Amino acid sequence: MKKILFILSLLFLFSGQAAVKANGGFPGEDCGSSGKLDCDLRCMPVADIVNALNNGRCDYTAPVNLDCGAYNFDWGKCGSNMSIWYGPRDGWWYDSAHPGTGVSVESFYGTLAVGFFMYYDDSHKPVWLSATCSEDNSTSSRYSGDLFYWTGWPLGSPYSSPVPHKVGNISISFLSDSSDLTYTITQPGKWLDSGKIDHVGQAVKVHLAKFLPSIVSSNDKGSKMPINGWWWNPGLEGMGIFFEHYGDTGFMAWYHYGPDGLPRWYTCDGKISSDQKVSGKTHAVFTCNMREWTGGSSIGSANYSAPAPILIGTATFTFLRVAHLLPTATLVSPVGTYNLERFILSRNK
């Protein structure tokens, strides 16, 4: 239960832009002409895997001898040696009519990790909510789950465990190149003492598009490492970063807590370098302008006001990968330095 709660807390960092066999949709490192895939630094025959690619989702049903746990291919137990497929539903989504708000999505085996940021409608302070959603059925393009708000330790202060507050529910339906998010705040409770969200008790529906492909042109530059997705520091449960790059353009949001212990987020946008390999280690550097945003409205507000950015300073996100291991990262920011690793979201079975 504790791990599930922290997944909801936006610590669920798992995913990546892994190598995918063009004709099979198999996540994992391609071992070349041997026709095998690599897990835990070993190779196995593709013939041992039954691939049921359904709506961007891969299931593995044939027995495979990987010692990865009771579920044959449980990536939550395979651990950090796995490269993970970054699917078409994963990434940043936004409503162009409501700039300054956003939704981060990552999926795996019928589980969807969702975080979205917006603002109080009266004080216009930033706030983020999160959810872990499940498929409505095995062939569904719709996911639903409970919606949570969190309170925690102010960034830079001594760590204390964050506290979840269930405040409503959420669902996301995926179309071919867009999605519809519907959320309802049903239990505002104490978390609204410092601010107001419109439409409490009413379902709010927002139509979303992929963010980075909408604003930048793709190119072949940038890192080829599996670095898109959730990042965290295991010693700081309750705080997480969602990162995505499209070509050499990167964007991330840092979900944490302000001086009042209420949820707060920063964004960081900039360029990511191509991979550089030195002594068997692969590096990529993301240099970005870190900003805090205030003055906006909730993502579903009828009377939306656009937020204004406050530049905090320049940050550097350095990714490091050794062999087939998942990358690690170091974030050097104007508000502290943090060592980060990928968070592996276990399959939902």
- DSSP letter string, 136-176: SSTT-SEEEEEEEEEE-PPTTSPP---EEEEEEEEEEEE-S
State the pLDDT at residue 221: 80
* Residue 164, token pair as written in the block: 């979840």
For the whole model, what pTM was predicted?
0.76
pLDDT at residue 39, as a whole number: 35
CB-based contact 142:171 (threshold 8 Å): yes
Q: Domain extents for the chain? A: 1-12+83-349, 29-79
- pLDDT at residue 320, as a whole number: 94
Nearest to 116 by CA among 299, 327, 270, 279: 299
- β-partners of residue 249 are 246, 271
pLDDT tops 80 at residue 32: no
The predicted structure's pLDDT at residue 283: 94
**Predicted local confidence at residue 56, as pLDDT:** 32
Quickly state the pLDDT bin for 111 (edges 50, 70, 90): confident
Helix, strand and coil in the chain, % to nearest 5 = 10, 45, 45
Q: Which residue has the higher pLDDT, 318 or 88?
A: 318
pLDDT given for residue 87 in this prediction: 74
Residue 85 has a pLDDT of: 57
Mind listing the pLDDT tens digit for each residue in 86-108?
A: 678 899 999 988 888 899 998 76
For residue 307, pLDDT over 70 is answered with: yes
Question: Considering only 49-53, 104-108, 143-147, 163-167, which range has the smallest mean pLDDT?
Answer: 49-53
Residue 161's nearest CA partner among 253, 239, 264 is 239
pLDDT at 138: 62
| Whole-number pLDDT of residue 325 | 75
Q: What is the CA angle 215-219-224, rounded to 5?
A: 110
- Please count the other Cβ atoms lying within 10 Å of the Cβ belonging to residue 178: 12
Q: Is the pLDDT of residue 349 over 70?
A: no
Q: What value does the mean pLDDT take over residues 131-143? A: 81
| Mean pLDDT along residues 149-165 | 92
Asked whether residue 1 carries a pLDDT value surpassing 90, the answer given is no
Cβ–Cβ < 8 Å for 16, 228: yes
More confident residue, 348 or 120: 120
Given a cut of 60, whether residue 73 has pLDDT beyond it is no
Q: What is the pLDDT of residue 144?
A: 93
Burial of 112 (0-12, 13-18, 19+ CB in 10 A): buried
Percent of the chain surpassing pLDDT 70: 68
Task: State the residue for tokens 């909408």.
Answer: 214
The whole-number pLDDT of residue 30 equals 36
Share of the chain above pLDDT 90, in %: 36
Which pLDDT value is given to residue 177?
85
Token representation of residue 145: 């789950």
Please count the other Cβ atoms lying within 10 Å of the Cβ belonging to residue 187.
16
Under 8 Å CB-to-CB from 328, ≥6 apart: which residues?
319, 320, 321, 339, 340, 341, 342
Residue 13, token pair as written in the block: 């960092």
Q: Given this model, what pLDDT does residue 235 score?
A: 93
Per-residue model confidence (pLDDT) at position 99: 82
Q: How far apart are CA 306 and CA 94, in angstroms?
A: 14
Chain-wide mean pLDDT for the chain? 74
Locate all alpha helices (DSSP H) within the chain, ordered by sequence.
2-6, 75-78, 212-215
With bands split at pLDDT 50, 70 and 90, how would you rate the model's confidence at 176?
confident
pLDDT tens track for 216-238: 877 778 888 889 999 999 999 99
